[in-house]
Amino acid sequence: MKAAAAEEVLCVKRDDIFPDGAWHGFVTDNLERYQSVIRERYVFKPRAEVEDDPSFQQIIPYVVFRHGDRYFLTHRLRASSEKRLRKLYSLGVGGHINRGDLDSGDPIQDGLKREWEEEVVYDGHFDAALLGLLNDESAPVSKVHLGVVFLVDGDTPNITIRETKKLGGELLTLQEMKVLYLQMESWSQIVYDRLVG
């Protein structure tokens, strides 16, 4: 993976995605409009330039995996490259969209698939259904990212982490992971609340 300084990531101007001001939380309304804005008005910017620039939203496809009543919960280990999220739990697998993700025509879907294949080993049926958009205004790391959240209903529980030095992962029910709620990154808390609600 490219170093953050050299990596270019797909972004949208904050004013384009939030013309009426930013909302906080999880939305399921106007998803077509948001996706159209992303697909029609994206730009690529050096990641190092936009990590601390809230005038741009870095678009992050974020996949939640479910098999039956269990969800795949990952745990960032000490070797994780994202220092600000180390040791936290995540309900989703996601990452930035890069230029190479435009090869097949849809930056959101293609970025999602590439990031998924980089993070996990899963040989079952993969069909990602859009759940909604996630925005968290509470912290600098989350304020510059916009999550496009998808749900994959797996037909097999055979899913494992690819980079085991950086991440751990297991399938848990929402009830079982409740005790880890305060150790989840903020996005995962928002998604958890949505799934429970």
Residue 2 lies in a domain: no
* 3 is a domain residue: no
Give dist(CA 48, CA 176) in Å, integer: 37
User: Which amino acid, residue 121?
Assistant: V
Percent of the chain with pLDDT over 90: 71
Residue 128, domain member (yes or no): yes
Q: Let me know if residue 103 belongs to a domain.
A: yes
Q: Is residue 78 part of a domain?
A: yes
DSSP state of 95: -
What pLDDT digit, counting tens, does each position of 69-121 carry?
999 999 987 654 445 545 799 999 999 999 888 777 788 888 898 889 999 99
Give the Å distances, CA to CA, from 62 to 21, 147, 188. 23, 6, 10
164 falls within a domain: yes
1 within some domain: no
CA distance 21 to 183: 29
State how far the Cα of 144 lies from the Cα of 197, in Å rounded to an integer: 26
Domain at 109, CATH number: 3.90.79.10
Q: What is the span of the domain harbouring residue 13?
A: 8-196
Single-letter code of the amino acid located at 19: P
What pTM was computed for the model? Answer: 0.90
Q: What is the DSSP letter of 137?
A: -
Q: Decide: residue 156, CB within 10 A, 0-12 exposed, 13-18 middle, 19+ buried.
A: exposed
Is there a contact between 120 and 93 (Cβ–Cβ < 8 Å)? yes
Residue 3 scores a pLDDT above 80 = no
Number of domains, the chain: 1
Dihedral (CA of 110, 113, 116, 121) sign: negative
Residue 16 domain-assigned?
Answer: yes
